[in-house]
Amino acid sequence: MNWKQLAANYRSNKLLYWMILPVICFVILFSYVPMFGLTMAFQDYSLVKGIFGSKWIGLENFQDFFTSMYFGRTLRNTLVLSFFDLLFSFPAPIILALMLNEVRRLRYKKLIQTISYMPHFISMIVVAGLIMEFTNSSGVIGSIVSAMGGTPKSYISLPQYFRPIFIVSEIWQHVGFNSIIYLAALSGISEDLYEAARIDGAGRFRQMLNVTLPGLTPTIIIMFILRCGAIMNLNFEKVLLLYSPSTYETADIISTYVYRIGIIKQKIGYSTAVGLFNSVVSFALVLTANKISKTYTEVSMF
């Protein structure tokens, strides 16, 4: 594409160019201007002096973060929480989809599907409120524990229970909704393949192993790549609603730290640096996962 062709293209499609202009301006203002704002990470940013007047301090903000006690704690919490989330929340919708796929009564299948989507539509605030109610000492979990002879505690304010509570509620919220994509992939597997497997004498289990799973693999890989990119972007809003100073030890992740230090304490330059660290690691993770997948399985996003 050269400029002459572009000019000619503009002359014959003027209206299209003018129509897309507001959208481009919008994207520049709300996506690219903040990207430019990332330069604050390298400044001793002052709200009064602004981005053009503040002093450049190189990597000092990053050094401060890497040497502070928060670096180890927030990075560890982010990675550990994400790892367990990946371990349990990622396979759950695949298993649910496989189980739903075996149901012969279509109305029953449809009913369970619809019900299982429901938690996805409940707001984070309500979900967090319910979690707090169920896990306090007089809540459901507390009553079960006291029925079994134990002493109920306020689980959400104890650091050792934060991760299990987070993961279990995460599965509850998204298992149904996330199974949609796998169900769609399952319905795309040709019936002929199953027929052929049956003729070859494969039982139901062999059919699942040799027909269903291979048919599902590309979808699983794509979802896995996407999920890897989200390792650093855990459900930040949920952590923010559920954690408290008494659980920071296990619950404070990088993004909640950025929120506290940036929005509450207004240390703009420093918090931008911490946020940038998070985004760069996250971006690198997507690219790596995509690259690995491309090399070994020939499935990739880009």
Partner 1 sequence: MKVKESMGRKVFLVSNALILGLVGFLCLAPMLHVIASSISDPITLARERGFHLWPIAPFSFEGYKAVLGYQNILTGYGNTVFYVAAGIVFNLFLTTIAAYVLSRKRFMPGNVIMLFIAFTMLFNGGLIPNYLLIVRMGLVDNRLAVILPSAFNAFNLVIMRTSMKEIPEALEESARLDGANDLQILWHIIIPVSQATMAVITLFVAVSIWNSWFTASIYLTDRAKWPLQLFLREVLINNSQRSLNAGVKASAMTLQTLVKYCVIVVATLPILFIYPFLQKYFVKGIMIGSIKG
- Interface of this chain with partner 1, residues 56 to 95, rule: CB under 8 A: none
Angle between helices 213-229 and 159-187 (to 10 degrees): 140
In terms of Cα–Cα distance, which of 186, 169, 189 is closest to 96?
186
Does 213 contact partner 1 by CB under 8 A? no
Smallest separation, CB 245 to partner 1 (Å)? 15
Task: Please check whether residue 16 is in contact with residue 4, taking contact to mean a CB–CB distance below 8 angstroms.
Answer: no
Considering the rule CB under 8 A, would residue 147 count as an interface residue with partner 1?
no
The separation between CA 148 and the C-alpha centre of its own chain, rounded to angstroms, equals: 36
Measured CA to CA, the distance from residue 229 to residue 270 in angstroms comes to 24
Q: Which of 46, 63, 114, 160 binds partner 1 (CB under 8 A)?
A: 114
79, 124, 208, 292: which one contacts partner 1 (CB under 8 A)?
Answer: 124
Instruction: Identify residues 151-180 at the interface with partner 1 (CB under 8 A).
Output: 172, 175-176, 180
Least distance from partner 1 to the Cβ atom of residue 171, Å: 10
For partner 1, give the closer residue by CB, 250 or 275: 275
Question: Could you say which DSSP state residue 2 is in?
Answer: -
Q: For the CB of residue 67, give the shortest distance to partner 1 in the complex, in Å.
A: 20
Rounded CA-CA distance 46/44 in Å is 6
With CB under 8 A as the contact rule, which of the stretches 21-29, 57-65, 74-82, 83-91 interacts with partner 1?
21-29
Closest contact distance (angstroms) between CB of 143 and partner 1 is: 5
119's tokens: 């938690």
In the list 140, 196, 209, 213, the residue contacting partner 1 (rule: CB under 8 A) is 140
Region binding partner 1 by CB under 8 A among candidate stretches 74-82, 133-141, 157-165, 206-214: 133-141
Q: How far is CA 36 from CA 21, 26, 33, 285, in A?
A: 20, 15, 5, 22
Cβ of residue 254: shortest distance to partner 1, in angstroms?
A: 10
| Spatial separation of the C-alpha atoms in residues 217 and 220, rounded to whole Å | 5
Q: Does 24 bind partner 1 (CB under 8 A)?
A: yes
Encode 179-195 in three state secondary structure: HHHHHHHHHCCCHHHHH
Query: By rule CB under 8 A, what count of residues binds partner 1?
Result: 87
Nearest distance in Å: CB 83, partner 1 = 22
Asked if 291 interacts with partner 1 (CB under 8 A), we say no
Nearest to 95 by CA among 224, 220, 228: 220
Which one of residues 129, 150, 164, 214 is an interface residue with partner 1 (CB under 8 A)? 129
How far are the Cα atoms of 59, 121, 137, 297 from residue 132, in angstroms, in the given order? 40, 19, 10, 43
Is residue 49 a contact residue for partner 1 (CB under 8 A)? Answer: no
Q: Residues 207-225, buried b or exposed e (16+ Cβ, 10 A)? A: bbeebbeebbeebbbbbeb
In the complex, least distance from residue 148 CB atom to partner 1, rounded to whole angstroms: 15
Binding to partner 1 by residue 232, rule CB under 8 A?
A: no
**25 contributes a contact to partner 1 by CB under 8 A:** no
Does 126 engage in binding with partner 1 (CB under 8 A)? yes
Q: Which is nearer to partner 1, 81 or 175 (CB)?
A: 175
